């Protein structure tokens, strides 16, 4: 996988996370922010989705009238999909790292 493919994957991850949150955040170029910054931001968005899903589930279990079951399930699925995508990105990065380390000079 080339570095451009990683940049494209990170942009896709960012746009999907923004869509899942329903927020139109300002677009920051991964090249300008740096790879580690973009990766950290993606992990923070995944964490935020999981925390939101957890808090909504707790509110629903406590009997809050403000939270419906469909909201809880939708937030739970958003968090699950974001986490699975994060795991796949990590797996691809590890594979790429192993490939580079296995190259002979």
* Contacts (Cβ under 8 Å, ≥6 apart) of 24: 18
Instruction: Report DSSP state, residue 27.
Output: P
Give me the domain span that covers residue 75. 3-101
Which pLDDT tens digits describe the chain residue by residue (105 residues)? Answer: 566 776 777 777 777 777 766 654 455 454 545 888 888 899 999 999 999 999 999 999 999 899 999 999 999 999 999 999 999 999 999 999 999 999 887
How far is 87 from 77, CA to CA, in rounded Å? 15
Number of domains in the chain: 1
* Contacts (Cβ under 8 Å, ≥6 apart) of 57: 72, 75, 76
How far is 31 from 38, CA to CA, in rounded Å? 9
């Amino acid at each position: 996988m080339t570095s451009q493919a990683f940049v494209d994957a990170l942009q896709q991850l960012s746009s999907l996370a923004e869509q899942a949150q329903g927020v139109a955040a300002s677009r920051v170029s991964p090249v300008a922010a740096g790879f580690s910054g973009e990766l950290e931001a993606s992990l923070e968005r995944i964490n935020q989705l999981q925390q939101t899903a957890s808090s909504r589930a707790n509110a629903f279990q406590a009997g809050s009238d403000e939270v419906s079951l469909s909201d809880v399930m939708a937030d739970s699925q958003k968090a699950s999909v974001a986490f699975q995508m994060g795991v796949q990105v990590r797996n691809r990065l590890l594979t790429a790292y192993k490939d580079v380390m296995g190259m002979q000079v």
